[in-house]
Chains A and B, each alone.
Chain A
Protein backbone atom coordinates (compact mmCIF):
# COMPACT_ATOMS: atom_id res chain seq x y z
CA UNK A 1 0.00 0.00 0.00
CA UNK A 2 1.47 3.35 -0.84
CA UNK A 3 2.48 5.72 1.89
CA UNK A 4 -0.04 8.48 1.15
CA UNK A 5 -3.02 6.10 1.23
CA UNK A 6 -1.93 4.64 4.53
CA UNK A 7 -1.07 8.04 5.97
CA UNK A 8 -4.60 9.24 5.10
CA UNK A 9 -6.07 6.32 7.03
CA UNK A 10 -3.84 7.23 9.96
CA UNK A 11 -4.86 10.89 10.02
CA UNK A 12 -8.55 10.09 9.73
CA UNK A 13 -8.26 7.45 12.45
CA UNK A 14 -6.69 10.07 14.74
CA UNK A 15 -9.79 12.21 14.29
CA UNK A 16 -12.09 9.25 14.91
CA UNK A 17 -10.07 8.48 18.04
CA UNK A 18 -10.33 12.07 19.21
CA UNK A 19 -14.12 12.18 18.99
CA UNK A 20 -14.72 8.66 20.27
CA UNK A 21 -12.49 9.12 23.29
CA UNK A 22 -14.07 12.44 24.29
CA UNK A 23 -17.42 10.65 24.37
CA UNK A 24 -16.14 8.12 26.90
CA UNK A 25 -17.65 8.80 30.31
CA UNK A 26 -14.99 9.75 32.91
CA UNK A 27 -16.25 6.98 35.19
CA UNK A 28 -14.91 4.49 32.65
CA UNK A 29 -11.47 6.01 32.15
CA UNK A 30 -9.70 3.12 33.87
CA UNK A 31 -11.43 0.48 31.70
CA UNK A 32 -10.64 2.73 28.73
CA UNK A 33 -6.95 2.45 29.55
CA UNK A 34 -7.07 -1.30 29.98
CA UNK A 35 -9.04 -1.87 26.78
CA UNK A 36 -6.82 0.45 24.71
CA UNK A 37 -3.93 -1.46 26.15
CA UNK A 38 -5.47 -4.71 24.97
CA UNK A 39 -6.20 -3.46 21.46
CA UNK A 40 -2.79 -1.83 21.03
CA UNK A 41 -1.50 -5.39 21.25
CA UNK A 42 -2.75 -5.75 17.68
CA UNK A 43 1.00 -5.41 17.21
CA UNK A 44 0.75 -9.19 17.50
CA UNK A 45 0.11 -9.09 13.73
CA UNK A 46 3.74 -8.04 13.23
CA UNK A 47 4.88 -10.62 15.75
CA UNK A 48 2.99 -13.39 13.94
CA UNK A 49 4.50 -12.42 10.59
CA UNK A 50 7.99 -12.62 12.09
CA UNK A 51 7.24 -15.88 13.89
CA UNK A 52 5.83 -17.52 10.76
CA UNK A 53 8.54 -16.39 8.36
CA UNK A 54 11.45 -18.50 7.26
CA UNK A 55 14.90 -17.08 6.63
CA UNK A 56 16.17 -15.83 9.97
CA UNK A 57 16.18 -17.85 13.17
CA UNK A 58 16.75 -14.84 15.42
CA UNK A 59 13.93 -12.94 13.75
CA UNK A 60 11.64 -15.93 14.25
CA UNK A 61 12.46 -16.22 17.96
CA UNK A 62 11.98 -12.50 18.47
CA UNK A 63 8.63 -12.90 16.76
CA UNK A 64 7.60 -15.78 19.02
CA UNK A 65 8.68 -13.82 22.11
CA UNK A 66 6.62 -10.87 20.90
CA UNK A 67 3.65 -13.19 20.32
CA UNK A 68 3.86 -14.30 23.97
CA UNK A 69 4.10 -10.70 25.24
CA UNK A 70 1.30 -9.42 23.05
CA UNK A 71 -0.91 -12.38 24.02
CA UNK A 72 -0.42 -11.67 27.71
CA UNK A 73 -1.70 -8.19 26.98
CA UNK A 74 -4.56 -9.23 24.77
CA UNK A 75 -5.97 -11.88 27.09
CA UNK A 76 -5.04 -10.03 30.29
CA UNK A 77 -6.29 -6.68 28.98
CA UNK A 78 -9.66 -7.89 27.75
CA UNK A 79 -10.17 -10.11 30.81
CA UNK A 80 -9.40 -7.38 33.32
CA UNK A 81 -11.59 -4.92 31.41
CA UNK A 82 -14.46 -7.40 31.42
CA UNK A 83 -13.93 -7.92 35.14
CA UNK A 84 -14.07 -4.20 35.82
CA UNK A 85 -17.03 -3.49 33.58
CA UNK A 86 -19.04 -6.25 35.23
CA UNK A 87 -18.77 -4.31 38.50
CA UNK A 88 -20.46 -1.16 37.23
CA UNK A 89 -24.07 -1.49 38.30
CA UNK A 90 -27.04 0.80 38.36
CA UNK A 91 -29.00 1.56 41.50
CA UNK A 92 -31.43 -1.21 42.40
CA UNK A 93 -34.95 0.07 42.36
Chain B
Protein backbone atom coordinates (compact mmCIF):
# COMPACT_ATOMS: atom_id res chain seq x y z
CA UNK B 1 0.00 0.00 0.00
CA UNK B 2 1.17 3.47 -0.71
CA UNK B 3 2.91 5.04 2.23
CA UNK B 4 1.54 8.44 1.41
CA UNK B 5 -2.02 7.27 1.47
CA UNK B 6 -1.46 5.73 4.90
CA UNK B 7 -0.17 9.03 6.13
CA UNK B 8 -3.01 10.86 4.50
CA UNK B 9 -5.60 8.58 6.02
CA UNK B 10 -3.89 8.56 9.40
CA UNK B 11 -3.80 12.33 9.33
CA UNK B 12 -7.53 12.36 8.71
CA UNK B 13 -7.13 13.53 5.13
CA UNK B 14 -8.97 12.22 2.11
CA UNK B 15 -6.78 9.24 1.33
CA UNK B 16 -8.73 6.58 -0.50
CA UNK B 17 -7.42 3.76 1.67
CA UNK B 18 -8.33 3.57 5.31
CA UNK B 19 -5.28 1.88 6.89
CA UNK B 20 -7.31 0.06 9.53
CA UNK B 21 -9.59 -1.37 6.87
CA UNK B 22 -6.59 -2.40 4.79
CA UNK B 23 -5.08 -4.20 7.78
CA UNK B 24 -8.39 -5.88 8.56
CA UNK B 25 -8.62 -7.20 4.99
CA UNK B 26 -5.06 -8.47 5.25
CA UNK B 27 -5.88 -10.29 8.51
CA UNK B 28 -8.91 -11.77 6.81
CA UNK B 29 -6.67 -13.02 3.98
CA UNK B 30 -4.34 -14.62 6.51
CA UNK B 31 -7.28 -16.43 8.12
CA UNK B 32 -8.17 -17.83 4.70
CA UNK B 33 -4.64 -19.17 4.32
CA UNK B 34 -4.96 -20.81 7.74
CA UNK B 35 -8.30 -22.29 6.68
CA UNK B 36 -6.66 -24.18 3.82
CA UNK B 37 -3.65 -25.04 5.95
CA UNK B 38 -5.99 -26.77 8.40
CA UNK B 39 -6.97 -29.26 5.73
CA UNK B 40 -3.54 -30.88 5.82
CA UNK B 41 -5.00 -33.43 8.22
CA UNK B 42 -8.52 -34.41 9.27
CA UNK B 43 -7.59 -33.67 12.88
CA UNK B 44 -6.96 -29.96 12.25
CA UNK B 45 -9.53 -29.53 9.49
CA UNK B 46 -12.49 -28.41 11.58
CA UNK B 47 -10.42 -25.69 13.18
CA UNK B 48 -9.37 -24.64 9.68
CA UNK B 49 -12.98 -24.30 8.62
CA UNK B 50 -13.64 -22.04 11.62
CA UNK B 51 -10.67 -19.88 10.64
CA UNK B 52 -12.33 -19.48 7.26
CA UNK B 53 -15.54 -18.30 8.92
CA UNK B 54 -13.62 -15.81 11.08
CA UNK B 55 -11.83 -14.45 8.00
CA UNK B 56 -15.12 -13.99 6.18
CA UNK B 57 -16.73 -12.26 9.17
CA UNK B 58 -13.83 -9.82 9.41
CA UNK B 59 -14.06 -9.01 5.69
CA UNK B 60 -17.83 -8.47 5.77
CA UNK B 61 -17.89 -6.40 8.98
CA UNK B 62 -15.00 -4.23 7.78
CA UNK B 63 -16.78 -3.51 4.51
CA UNK B 64 -20.03 -2.68 6.27
CA UNK B 65 -18.28 -0.30 8.68
CA UNK B 66 -16.38 1.50 5.94
CA UNK B 67 -18.98 1.60 3.18
CA UNK B 68 -22.48 1.76 4.61
CA UNK B 69 -23.42 5.43 4.36
CA UNK B 70 -23.40 7.37 7.60
CA UNK B 71 -25.97 9.86 8.82
CA UNK B 72 -24.93 13.30 10.02
CA UNK B 73 -24.31 12.13 13.58
CA UNK B 74 -21.92 9.41 12.34
CA UNK B 75 -24.34 6.52 12.93
CA UNK B 76 -24.80 3.97 10.15
CA UNK B 77 -27.73 4.56 7.81
CA UNK B 78 -30.22 2.00 9.07
CA UNK B 79 -32.17 1.64 5.85
CA UNK B 80 -29.10 0.74 3.81
CA UNK B 81 -27.89 -1.56 6.58
CA UNK B 82 -31.24 -3.34 6.92
CA UNK B 83 -31.43 -3.94 3.16
CA UNK B 84 -28.00 -5.49 3.19
CA UNK B 85 -28.58 -7.59 6.28
CA UNK B 86 -31.84 -8.83 4.77
CA UNK B 87 -29.97 -9.87 1.63
CA UNK B 88 -27.37 -11.70 3.74
CA UNK B 89 -30.16 -13.32 5.76
CA UNK B 90 -31.92 -14.62 2.64
CA UNK B 91 -28.66 -16.07 1.36
CA UNK B 92 -27.86 -17.60 4.75
CA UNK B 93 -31.20 -19.40 4.98
CA UNK B 94 -30.97 -20.78 1.44
CA UNK B 95 -27.32 -21.78 1.87
CA UNK B 96 -27.74 -23.51 5.22
CA UNK B 97 -30.85 -25.38 4.11
CA UNK B 98 -29.03 -26.62 0.99
CA UNK B 99 -25.99 -27.65 3.01
CA UNK B 100 -28.10 -29.59 5.52
CA UNK B 101 -30.31 -31.36 3.01
CA UNK B 102 -27.81 -32.41 0.38
CA UNK B 103 -26.97 -36.11 0.12
CA UNK B 104 -23.24 -36.81 0.25
CA UNK B 105 -23.43 -38.59 -3.10
CA UNK B 106 -24.75 -35.34 -4.62
CA UNK B 107 -21.79 -33.31 -3.40
CA UNK B 108 -20.29 -32.79 -6.91
CA UNK B 109 -23.54 -31.18 -8.10
CA UNK B 110 -23.70 -28.96 -5.05
CA UNK B 111 -20.14 -27.76 -5.54
CA UNK B 112 -20.88 -27.04 -9.22
CA UNK B 113 -24.00 -25.11 -8.20
CA UNK B 114 -22.02 -23.08 -5.67
CA UNK B 115 -19.37 -22.31 -8.29
CA UNK B 116 -22.03 -20.97 -10.62
CA UNK B 117 -23.18 -18.60 -7.87
CA UNK B 118 -19.65 -17.25 -7.32
CA UNK B 119 -19.42 -16.68 -11.07
CA UNK B 120 -22.75 -14.90 -11.25
CA UNK B 121 -21.94 -12.81 -8.18
CA UNK B 122 -18.67 -11.76 -9.84
CA UNK B 123 -20.59 -10.76 -12.96
CA UNK B 124 -23.08 -8.76 -10.89
CA UNK B 125 -20.29 -7.00 -8.97
CA UNK B 126 -18.38 -6.18 -12.15
CA UNK B 127 -21.57 -4.88 -13.76
CA UNK B 128 -22.37 -2.80 -10.67
CA UNK B 129 -18.84 -1.37 -10.74
CA UNK B 130 -19.26 -0.52 -14.40
CA UNK B 131 -22.59 1.23 -13.80
CA UNK B 132 -21.41 3.14 -10.73
CA UNK B 133 -17.61 3.38 -10.98
CA UNK B 134 -17.29 6.34 -8.62
CA UNK B 135 -18.69 4.29 -5.73
CA UNK B 136 -15.79 1.88 -6.21
CA UNK B 137 -13.25 4.69 -6.55
CA UNK B 138 -12.18 3.53 -10.00
CA UNK B 139 -13.16 6.55 -12.07
CA UNK B 140 -12.23 10.19 -12.29
CA UNK B 141 -14.70 13.03 -11.71
CA UNK B 142 -16.02 12.89 -15.29
CA UNK B 143 -16.93 9.21 -15.00
CA UNK B 144 -14.01 7.95 -17.10
CA UNK B 145 -12.95 4.59 -15.65
CA UNK B 146 -9.19 4.20 -15.14
CA UNK B 147 -7.48 2.10 -17.82
CA UNK B 148 -6.10 -0.51 -15.42
CA UNK B 149 -9.51 -0.86 -13.82
CA UNK B 150 -11.09 -1.41 -17.22
CA UNK B 151 -8.81 -4.38 -17.91
CA UNK B 152 -9.40 -5.82 -14.44
CA UNK B 153 -13.13 -5.31 -14.77
CA UNK B 154 -13.21 -6.83 -18.25
CA UNK B 155 -11.30 -9.88 -17.06
CA UNK B 156 -13.48 -10.12 -13.94
CA UNK B 157 -16.71 -10.16 -15.87
CA UNK B 158 -15.35 -12.55 -18.51
CA UNK B 159 -14.03 -15.09 -16.00
CA UNK B 160 -17.12 -14.70 -13.83
CA UNK B 161 -19.46 -15.32 -16.76
CA UNK B 162 -17.46 -18.35 -17.94
CA UNK B 163 -17.52 -19.75 -14.40
CA UNK B 164 -21.27 -19.25 -14.24
CA UNK B 165 -22.35 -20.81 -17.52
CA UNK B 166 -19.70 -23.55 -17.36
CA UNK B 167 -20.79 -24.51 -13.85
CA UNK B 168 -24.43 -24.57 -14.85
CA UNK B 169 -23.64 -27.11 -17.58
CA UNK B 170 -21.43 -29.11 -15.21
CA UNK B 171 -24.27 -29.09 -12.68
CA UNK B 172 -26.80 -30.30 -15.26
CA UNK B 173 -24.48 -33.11 -16.36
CA UNK B 174 -23.62 -34.19 -12.82
CA UNK B 175 -27.23 -33.99 -11.69
CA UNK B 176 -28.39 -36.08 -14.64
CA UNK B 177 -30.63 -33.33 -16.11
CA UNK B 178 -28.38 -33.47 -19.14
CA UNK B 179 -26.74 -36.54 -20.62
CA UNK B 180 -23.17 -37.12 -19.48
CA UNK B 181 -22.24 -37.93 -23.05
CA UNK B 182 -20.11 -35.35 -24.82
CA UNK B 183 -22.03 -33.06 -27.18
CA UNK B 184 -19.86 -32.35 -30.20
CA UNK B 185 -20.70 -29.35 -32.33
CA UNK B 186 -19.20 -29.37 -35.80
CA UNK B 187 -16.27 -26.97 -36.00
CA UNK B 188 -16.38 -26.40 -32.26
CA UNK B 189 -12.65 -25.72 -31.95
CA UNK B 190 -12.92 -22.92 -34.50
CA UNK B 191 -16.03 -21.51 -32.82
CA UNK B 192 -14.43 -21.66 -29.37
CA UNK B 193 -11.13 -20.13 -30.39
CA UNK B 194 -12.95 -17.44 -32.38
CA UNK B 195 -15.17 -16.55 -29.42
CA UNK B 196 -12.19 -16.50 -27.09
CA UNK B 197 -10.25 -14.23 -29.46
CA UNK B 198 -13.26 -11.92 -29.73
CA UNK B 199 -13.47 -11.67 -25.92
CA UNK B 200 -9.77 -10.85 -25.59
CA UNK B 201 -9.96 -8.33 -28.45
CA UNK B 202 -13.00 -6.63 -26.95
CA UNK B 203 -11.43 -6.42 -23.48
CA UNK B 204 -8.43 -4.72 -25.12
CA UNK B 205 -10.75 -2.39 -27.03
CA UNK B 206 -12.60 -1.63 -23.79
CA UNK B 207 -9.52 0.26 -22.59
CA UNK B 208 -10.08 2.82 -25.38
CA UNK B 209 -13.84 2.91 -25.41
CA UNK B 210 -15.95 2.31 -22.32
CA UNK B 211 -19.25 2.28 -24.21
CA UNK B 212 -21.90 -0.06 -22.87
CA UNK B 213 -22.02 -2.20 -26.02
CA UNK B 214 -18.38 -3.29 -25.51
CA UNK B 215 -18.96 -4.23 -21.89
CA UNK B 216 -22.18 -6.14 -22.49
CA UNK B 217 -20.86 -7.92 -25.59
CA UNK B 218 -17.91 -9.20 -23.55
CA UNK B 219 -20.41 -10.41 -20.94
CA UNK B 220 -22.63 -12.16 -23.48
CA UNK B 221 -19.74 -13.81 -25.32
CA UNK B 222 -18.26 -15.02 -22.03
CA UNK B 223 -21.54 -16.63 -21.01
CA UNK B 224 -21.58 -18.31 -24.41
CA UNK B 225 -18.01 -19.62 -24.28
CA UNK B 226 -18.50 -21.08 -20.79
CA UNK B 227 -21.41 -23.05 -22.18
CA UNK B 228 -19.54 -24.11 -25.35
CA UNK B 229 -16.45 -25.17 -23.42
CA UNK B 230 -18.23 -27.61 -21.12
CA UNK B 231 -20.83 -29.30 -23.37
CA UNK B 232 -18.27 -31.45 -25.24
CA UNK B 233 -16.76 -32.78 -22.01
CA UNK B 234 -17.97 -36.20 -20.89
CA UNK B 235 -19.37 -37.08 -17.47
CA UNK B 236 -16.29 -39.01 -16.41
CA UNK B 237 -14.03 -36.00 -16.99
CA UNK B 238 -16.12 -33.93 -14.60
CA UNK B 239 -13.52 -34.12 -11.78
CA UNK B 240 -11.22 -32.04 -13.96
CA UNK B 241 -13.99 -29.69 -15.00
CA UNK B 242 -15.23 -29.11 -11.46
CA UNK B 243 -11.66 -28.41 -10.31
CA UNK B 244 -11.08 -26.09 -13.24
CA UNK B 245 -14.25 -24.12 -12.52
CA UNK B 246 -13.16 -23.96 -8.88
CA UNK B 247 -9.97 -22.36 -10.11
CA UNK B 248 -11.86 -19.90 -12.34
CA UNK B 249 -14.10 -18.80 -9.49
CA UNK B 250 -10.90 -17.89 -7.63
CA UNK B 251 -9.43 -15.93 -10.54
CA UNK B 252 -12.74 -14.06 -10.91
CA UNK B 253 -12.55 -13.03 -7.25
CA UNK B 254 -8.90 -12.01 -7.70
CA UNK B 255 -9.73 -9.87 -10.75
CA UNK B 256 -12.41 -8.04 -8.78
CA UNK B 257 -9.93 -7.72 -5.91
CA UNK B 258 -7.61 -5.85 -8.25
CA UNK B 259 -10.45 -3.55 -9.27
CA UNK B 260 -11.20 -2.75 -5.64
CA UNK B 261 -7.59 -2.81 -4.42
CA UNK B 262 -8.74 -5.27 -1.77
CA UNK B 263 -6.10 -7.60 -0.31
CA UNK B 264 -8.59 -10.09 1.16
CA UNK B 265 -10.06 -10.69 -2.28
CA UNK B 266 -6.68 -10.92 -3.97
CA UNK B 267 -5.20 -13.35 -1.46
CA UNK B 268 -8.33 -15.49 -1.53
CA UNK B 269 -8.56 -15.38 -5.30
CA UNK B 270 -4.94 -16.50 -5.61
CA UNK B 271 -5.45 -19.30 -3.06
CA UNK B 272 -8.61 -20.61 -4.68
CA UNK B 273 -7.21 -20.17 -8.17
CA UNK B 274 -4.11 -22.18 -7.39
CA UNK B 275 -6.10 -24.75 -5.42
CA UNK B 276 -8.37 -25.48 -8.36
CA UNK B 277 -5.44 -25.52 -10.78
CA UNK B 278 -3.52 -28.02 -8.62
CA UNK B 279 -6.58 -30.25 -8.28
CA UNK B 280 -7.08 -30.21 -12.07
CA UNK B 281 -3.44 -31.13 -12.48
CA UNK B 282 -3.72 -34.01 -9.98
CA UNK B 283 -6.82 -35.30 -11.75
CA UNK B 284 -5.21 -35.09 -15.20
CA UNK B 285 -2.08 -36.84 -13.94
CA UNK B 286 -4.20 -39.59 -12.43
CA UNK B 287 -5.70 -40.20 -15.86
CA UNK B 288 -2.42 -39.67 -17.72
CA UNK B 289 -4.13 -37.10 -19.92
CA UNK B 290 -3.13 -33.57 -20.70
CA UNK B 291 -5.28 -30.73 -19.47
CA UNK B 292 -5.70 -29.59 -23.08
CA UNK B 293 -7.06 -32.96 -24.18
CA UNK B 294 -9.60 -32.96 -21.36
CA UNK B 295 -10.70 -29.41 -22.16
CA UNK B 296 -10.88 -30.19 -25.87
CA UNK B 297 -13.49 -32.73 -24.83
CA UNK B 298 -15.10 -35.64 -26.59
CA UNK B 299 -13.82 -38.29 -24.18
CA UNK B 300 -15.89 -40.34 -21.82
CA UNK B 301 -19.63 -40.41 -21.85
CA UNK B 302 -20.98 -42.45 -18.99
CA UNK B 303 -20.97 -45.74 -20.79
CA UNK B 304 -21.67 -44.39 -24.22
CA UNK B 305 -18.40 -45.35 -25.86
CA UNK B 306 -19.02 -49.08 -25.52
CA UNK B 307 -18.56 -49.67 -29.23
CA UNK B 308 -14.94 -48.63 -29.25
CA UNK B 309 -13.24 -51.69 -27.82
CA UNK B 310 -16.06 -53.56 -26.15
CA UNK B 311 -17.55 -55.75 -28.85
CA UNK B 312 -14.70 -58.18 -29.11
CA UNK B 313 -14.67 -61.95 -28.85
CA UNK B 314 -16.53 -63.47 -25.93
CA UNK B 315 -14.06 -64.68 -23.33
CA UNK B 316 -14.91 -67.04 -20.49
CA UNK B 317 -15.46 -65.55 -17.08
CA UNK B 318 -16.47 -66.94 -13.74
CA UNK B 319 -19.68 -65.82 -12.04
CA UNK B 320 -20.03 -65.86 -8.29
CA UNK B 321 -22.71 -65.34 -5.67
CA UNK B 322 -22.90 -63.29 -2.49
CA UNK B 323 -22.43 -66.50 -0.50
CA UNK B 324 -19.21 -67.33 -2.37
CA UNK B 325 -17.95 -63.81 -1.74
CA UNK B 326 -18.85 -63.96 1.94
CA UNK B 327 -17.07 -67.28 2.33
CA UNK B 328 -13.93 -66.19 0.49
CA UNK B 329 -13.61 -62.95 2.40
CA UNK B 330 -14.31 -64.41 5.83
CA UNK B 331 -11.50 -66.93 5.22
CA UNK B 332 -9.09 -64.22 4.12
CA UNK B 333 -6.43 -62.56 6.20
CA UNK B 334 -6.22 -59.30 4.23
CA UNK B 335 -9.00 -57.74 2.16
CA UNK B 336 -8.61 -54.53 0.16
CA UNK B 337 -11.80 -52.81 -0.96
CA UNK B 338 -11.63 -50.73 -4.14
CA UNK B 339 -14.66 -48.42 -4.42
CA UNK B 340 -15.59 -46.44 -7.52
CA UNK B 341 -18.32 -44.24 -8.92
CA UNK B 342 -20.69 -47.23 -9.11
CA UNK B 343 -20.64 -47.40 -5.31
CA UNK B 344 -21.75 -43.76 -5.18
CA UNK B 345 -24.50 -44.28 -7.75
CA UNK B 346 -25.86 -47.30 -5.86
CA UNK B 347 -25.42 -45.56 -2.46
CA UNK B 348 -23.64 -48.72 -1.33
CA UNK B 349 -21.21 -47.12 1.14
CA UNK B 350 -23.20 -47.95 4.29
CA UNK B 351 -23.78 -51.56 3.30
CA UNK B 352 -20.11 -51.80 2.39
CA UNK B 353 -19.01 -50.54 5.79
CA UNK B 354 -21.36 -53.01 7.47
CA UNK B 355 -19.75 -55.77 5.44
CA UNK B 356 -16.28 -54.59 6.44
CA UNK B 357 -17.31 -54.47 10.13
CA UNK B 358 -18.49 -58.08 10.02
CA UNK B 359 -15.26 -59.13 8.34
CA UNK B 360 -13.21 -57.29 10.95
CA UNK B 361 -15.14 -59.15 13.63
CA UNK B 362 -13.96 -62.36 11.99
CA UNK B 363 -10.40 -61.13 12.33
CA UNK B 364 -9.96 -60.04 8.71
CA UNK B 365 -7.73 -57.04 8.11
CA UNK B 366 -9.74 -54.64 5.90
CA UNK B 367 -8.38 -51.63 4.03
CA UNK B 368 -9.75 -49.33 1.37
CA UNK B 369 -7.83 -48.27 -1.75
CA UNK B 370 -8.83 -45.00 -3.44
CA UNK B 371 -7.83 -44.00 -6.93
CA UNK B 372 -7.56 -40.21 -7.35
CA UNK B 373 -10.19 -40.09 -10.12
CA UNK B 374 -12.66 -42.53 -8.56
CA UNK B 375 -15.97 -40.69 -8.45
CA UNK B 376 -17.02 -37.39 -9.93
CA UNK B 377 -14.86 -34.98 -7.97
CA UNK B 378 -11.53 -35.05 -6.15
CA UNK B 379 -11.87 -36.88 -2.83
CA UNK B 380 -15.44 -37.99 -3.59
CA UNK B 381 -14.91 -41.59 -2.36
CA UNK B 382 -13.24 -40.44 0.86
CA UNK B 383 -16.26 -38.32 1.78
CA UNK B 384 -18.69 -41.15 1.09
CA UNK B 385 -16.67 -43.60 3.17
CA UNK B 386 -16.38 -41.02 5.95
CA UNK B 387 -20.14 -40.58 5.79
CA UNK B 388 -20.53 -44.32 6.29
CA UNK B 389 -18.30 -44.06 9.39
CA UNK B 390 -15.28 -45.72 7.84
CA UNK B 391 -12.31 -44.49 9.91
CA UNK B 392 -10.03 -42.39 7.70
CA UNK B 393 -6.94 -44.32 8.79
CA UNK B 394 -8.29 -47.41 7.01
CA UNK B 395 -8.51 -45.50 3.72
CA UNK B 396 -5.39 -45.30 1.57
CA UNK B 397 -4.37 -43.46 -1.57
CA UNK B 398 -3.14 -45.30 -4.65
CA UNK B 399 0.60 -44.86 -4.13
CA UNK B 400 0.39 -45.82 -0.45
CA UNK B 401 -1.44 -49.10 -0.93
CA UNK B 402 -0.55 -50.34 -4.40
CA UNK B 403 2.34 -52.46 -3.12
CA UNK B 404 0.00 -54.33 -0.78
CA UNK B 405 -2.18 -56.01 -3.39
CA UNK B 406 0.48 -58.68 -3.93
CA UNK B 407 0.14 -59.73 -0.28
CA UNK B 408 -3.63 -59.47 -0.06
CA UNK B 409 -5.99 -62.43 -0.25
CA UNK B 410 -9.01 -60.69 -1.68
CA UNK B 411 -9.37 -57.47 -3.67
CA UNK B 412 -13.03 -56.45 -3.55
CA UNK B 413 -13.77 -54.08 -6.43
CA UNK B 414 -17.11 -52.33 -6.13
CA UNK B 415 -18.26 -49.88 -8.78
CA UNK B 416 -14.78 -49.22 -10.16
CA UNK B 417 -13.45 -50.47 -13.48
CA UNK B 418 -10.94 -48.51 -15.52
CA UNK B 419 -8.86 -47.64 -12.46
CA UNK B 420 -8.11 -51.37 -12.05
CA UNK B 421 -7.39 -52.15 -15.70
CA UNK B 422 -3.92 -53.67 -16.09
CA UNK B 423 -3.85 -52.88 -19.82
CA UNK B 424 -3.09 -49.29 -18.76
CA UNK B 425 0.35 -50.62 -17.83
CA UNK B 426 1.04 -52.81 -20.85
CA UNK B 427 -1.13 -52.04 -23.88
CA UNK B 428 0.24 -49.01 -25.70
CA UNK B 429 -2.79 -48.86 -27.98
CA UNK B 430 -5.22 -48.61 -25.05
CA UNK B 431 -6.88 -45.21 -24.59
CA UNK B 432 -5.98 -45.39 -20.91
CA UNK B 433 -2.34 -46.40 -21.48
CA UNK B 434 -0.06 -44.80 -18.90
CA UNK B 435 -2.81 -44.07 -16.40
CA UNK B 436 -1.71 -45.16 -12.93
CA UNK B 437 -3.96 -48.06 -11.87
CA UNK B 438 -4.60 -50.11 -8.75
CA UNK B 439 -2.85 -53.48 -9.10
CA UNK B 440 -5.85 -55.59 -8.14
CA UNK B 441 -4.76 -58.39 -10.51
CA UNK B 442 -1.91 -59.17 -8.11
CA UNK B 443 -4.32 -60.21 -5.35
CA UNK B 444 -4.86 -63.94 -4.78
CA UNK B 445 -8.57 -63.52 -5.49
CA UNK B 446 -10.42 -60.65 -7.12
CA UNK B 447 -14.11 -60.15 -6.44
CA UNK B 448 -15.53 -57.76 -8.99
CA UNK B 449 -18.96 -56.25 -8.35
CA UNK B 450 -20.46 -54.98 -11.58
CA UNK B 451 -23.96 -54.37 -12.91
CA UNK B 452 -23.54 -56.57 -15.98
CA UNK B 453 -20.87 -57.97 -18.26
CA UNK B 454 -22.15 -55.79 -21.10
CA UNK B 455 -21.09 -52.34 -19.94
CA UNK B 456 -17.48 -51.27 -19.97
CA UNK B 457 -15.97 -48.33 -18.13
CA UNK B 458 -16.10 -44.79 -19.43
CA UNK B 459 -12.96 -45.29 -21.51
CA UNK B 460 -14.74 -48.04 -23.46
CA UNK B 461 -11.97 -50.56 -22.88
CA UNK B 462 -12.37 -54.17 -21.88
CA UNK B 463 -10.76 -55.08 -18.56
CA UNK B 464 -8.59 -58.24 -18.55
CA UNK B 465 -9.19 -58.61 -14.83
CA UNK B 466 -12.72 -59.92 -15.60
CA UNK B 467 -11.35 -62.99 -17.36
CA UNK B 468 -8.53 -63.99 -15.02
CA UNK B 469 -8.63 -67.35 -13.27
CA UNK B 470 -8.62 -65.82 -9.82
CA UNK B 471 -11.46 -63.40 -10.61
CA UNK B 472 -15.05 -63.98 -9.62
CA UNK B 473 -17.62 -61.64 -11.15
CA UNK B 474 -20.42 -60.64 -8.78
CA UNK B 475 -23.06 -59.28 -11.12
CA UNK B 476 -25.72 -57.02 -9.68
CA UNK B 477 -26.43 -53.66 -8.10
CA UNK B 478 -23.56 -52.67 -5.79
CA UNK B 479 -25.77 -51.97 -2.80
CA UNK B 480 -27.83 -55.11 -3.18
CA UNK B 481 -24.68 -57.21 -3.53
CA UNK B 482 -23.12 -55.68 -0.42
CA UNK B 483 -26.38 -56.23 1.49
CA UNK B 484 -26.52 -59.86 0.35
CA UNK B 485 -22.92 -60.44 1.44
CA UNK B 486 -23.78 -58.93 4.83
CA UNK B 487 -26.71 -61.34 5.10
CA UNK B 488 -24.51 -64.28 4.12
CA UNK B 489 -21.86 -63.26 6.66
CA UNK B 490 -24.49 -62.99 9.37
CA UNK B 491 -25.98 -66.35 8.42
CA UNK B 492 -22.72 -68.27 8.48
CA UNK B 493 -20.57 -68.94 11.48
CA UNK B 494 -22.83 -67.78 14.28
Contacts and interface: CB of A to CB of B under 8 A. Distances in A.
B56 A13 contact: no
A3 B46 CA distance: 36
A31 B383 contact: yes
B42 A88 contact: yes
Given A36-B276, A66-B125, A79 B392 contact: no
Contacts, number: 389
Interface in A19-74: 20-56, 58-60, 62-74
B386 A42 contact: no
A50 B135 contact: yes
Contact of A51 (B84, B118, B254): B84
Given A26-B372, A87-B386, A16 B378 contact: no
B98 A48 contact: no
B36 A46 contact: no
Interface in B240-257: 242-243, 246, 249-250, 252-254, 256-257
A17 B274 contact: yes
B208 to A, nearest CB: 19
A33 B42 contact: no
B259 interface: yes
Contact-size category for A:
35 or more
B35 interface: yes
B148 interface: yes
B263 A6 contact: yes
A83 B102 CA distance: 10
Contact of A71 (B90, B148, B254, B383): B90
Contact of B249 (A40, A51, A82): A40
Interface residues of B, number: 120
A25 to B, nearest CB: 6
Interface string B350-381: 00000000000000000000101000011110
Interface in B44-69: 45-46, 48-49, 52-53, 55-56, 59-60, 63-64, 67-69
B121 A66 contact: yes
B301 to A, nearest CB: 24
A43 B123 CA distance: 10
A48 B39 contact: no
Interface string B101-128: 0101001001100110110111011011
Contacts of B383: 30-31, 84, 87
B5 interface: yes
Contact of B64 (A5, A24, A25, A48): A48
A41 B92 CA distance: 13
A29 B88 contact: no
A46 B35 CA distance: 22
Contacts of B397: 26-27
Which of B25, B52, B98, B107 has the largest number of chain A CB atoms within 10 A?
B52
10 contacts: A1-B17, A14-B273, A27-B395, A34-B107, A45-B264, A46-B125, A50-B129, A52-B84, A69-B120, A80-B99
Interface of A: 1-3, 5-7, 9-11, 13-14, 16-18, 20-56, 58-60, 62-92
Given A30-B379, A31-B379, A76-B94, 12 more contacts: A5-B2, A37-B118, A42-B55, A45-B264, A49-B67, A53-B132, A68-B88, A68-B91, A70-B118, A71-B87, A71-B88, A76-B114
Report the 8 A-B pairs with minimum CB-CB distance, sorted nearest first: A71-B91, A76-B95, A29-B379, A53-B135, A17-B274, A75-B95, A13-B270, A50-B128
